[in-house]
Amino acid sequence: MYLARHHQKDGSIKYFIRHSYQDKSDAWLSKSLFSLGHDPEEFIVYVGDRSFYIDPAVEEAISSQGVVFNYDELEKIFMPFLDPEIRRVVEQFDRHWGKRRRYSRVELAAMQKDIHPFDRRRLCFLKFCHTKIENLSNQPFPFFNILLNKSRDEIEQVLEGMEYMLNPREKREYLYAIFDIPRRFAPRLTRFIPDAQDQDLIDKYLLEEICRLDQDSIFLDQGAVPSKAKGLHPYLRKYLIQYFDVLYKWPTTGGSAWHNTMWQPPARSSDEKHFRAMGISAGEFSRMKKKEFTLLFRRKALELHPDKGGSHEAFIALQQAYQVLIRRKT
């Protein structure tokens, strides 16, 4: 089971519990099990100052659909929404991180042979944060194993969580790299530098790649959540929106003075848990400029990133806090 986020038109997020499973043909699919609404913490029942349990209605709803799971899986889903102090205590007793088996390059290559190239490029950029990934993305790296045995929807949820770490400049390079635009400008030595290319050609190539992926049955037919909207699937539409409506509306270097002088809506009382996740007070947040807040997020993200030994749950909570609070700065 895993936590899925669904972005609403009003900018809010609705959460779901989903799970990945294999059908009779061994294809990985996904299914929604329970809607957690806009605030999953509503399903956490606190007992005293240091204990909690998940609302039994959640367990009953999932079990009624024939899904077998253990309570640890359910707790892991709700951990990012748990009160930080209680989460700290719980994590002190969580010792499930044993030594991981090391695979040879041949074993890794065999295990990862069916990972989609688009997923490889995305994860590779998120790992190395560089546009020159055409050779790296084809290598059998251990970190690609995070994409194994997951439905398309679960993969998208995993990668979306990681994408929140990217600042606007990095996201611009991210889109340039993941849609394999450098290949279109080969053999130029400057093909890995977006600013060195013809912008109209970049637009053309990116649109072509998005449309190609939208028709790629290997990409979308393996467990993609059906989309009621016409046109591009939301998995791809989000990149189109980022590309034209966000990344190229204002200059990508030096920031925007208009952004820095905009009126900022006041913080809400419901944001208190997000302030705790960011390690700041409501007052400190209101005094911060957007750039300062983003820098704080990136600094804390580096500290809490699981690859650096940080807590996975704290990292998720930080991402969610940033996603909510950054809207107060725009």
Please indicate, yes or no, whether residues 45 and 7 belong to a single structural domain of this protein.
Answer: yes
Q: Is residue 284 part of a domain?
A: yes
Q: Is residue 252 part of a domain?
A: no
Other Cβ atoms less than 10 A from the Cβ of 228: the count is: 5
Please indicate, yes or no, whether residues 46 and 69 belong to a single structural domain of this protein.
Answer: yes
Q: Is residue 101 part of a domain?
A: no
Please indicate, yes or no, whether residues 119 and 30 belong to a single structural domain of this protein.
Answer: no
Q: Which two tokens stand for residue 119?
A: 């997923």
Please indicate, yes or no, whether residues 204 and 309 belong to a single structural domain of this protein.
Answer: no
**What pLDDT is stored for residue 172 in this prediction?**
87
**What pLDDT is stored for residue 320 in this prediction?**
79
Cβ atoms of 153 and 202 within 8 Å: the answer is no
Cβ atoms of 69 and 80 within 8 Å: the answer is no
Q: Is residue 6 part of a domain?
A: yes
Please indicate, yes or no, whether residues 212 and 132 belong to a single structural domain of this protein.
Answer: yes
**What pLDDT is stored for residue 201 in this prediction?**
92
Q: Is residue 143 part of a domain?
A: yes
**What pLDDT is stored for residue 212 in this prediction?**
93
Please indicate, yes or no, whether residues 228 and 293 belong to a single structural domain of this protein.
Answer: no
**What pLDDT is stored for residue 265 in this prediction?**
45
Domain boundary among 223, 247, 271: 247
Q: Is residue 99 part of a domain?
A: no
Please indicate, yes or no, whether residues 229 and 135 belong to a single structural domain of this protein.
Answer: yes
Please indicate, yes or no, whether residues 9 and 38 belong to a single structural domain of this protein.
Answer: yes
Q: How many domains does the chain have?
A: 3
Please indicate, yes or no, whether residues 119 and 235 belong to a single structural domain of this protein.
Answer: yes
- CATH number reported for the structural domain that contains residue 263 in this entry: 1.10.287
Q: Is residue 107 part of a domain?
A: no
Domain boundary among 227, 247, 267: 247
Please indicate, yes or no, whether residues 238 and 143 belong to a single structural domain of this protein.
Answer: yes
Please indicate, yes or no, whether residues 264 and 243 belong to a single structural domain of this protein.
Answer: no
Please indicate, yes or no, whether residues 131 and 209 belong to a single structural domain of this protein.
Answer: yes
Q: Is residue 191 part of a domain?
A: yes
**What pLDDT is stored for residue 178 in this prediction?**
96
Please give the chain's pLDDT, 330 residues, in tens.
899 998 888 888 899 999 998 888 888 888 999 999 999 999 988 866 666 778 888 988 998 998 888 777 888 899 888 888 777 766 655 544 445 567 788 888 999 999 999 999 999 898 888 888 888 888 888 889 989 989 999 999 989 888 887 887 788 899 999 999 999 999 888 888 887 888 889 999 999 999 999 888 888 876 777 777 677 888 898 898 888 765 554 444 433 333 333 334 444 556 788 898 899 988 888 888 888 888 888 888 878 877 677 777 787 788 778 878 887 776
How far, in Å, are 72, 118, 152, 154 from residue 113 at the CA level?
31, 13, 16, 19
Domain that holds residue 164: 114-247
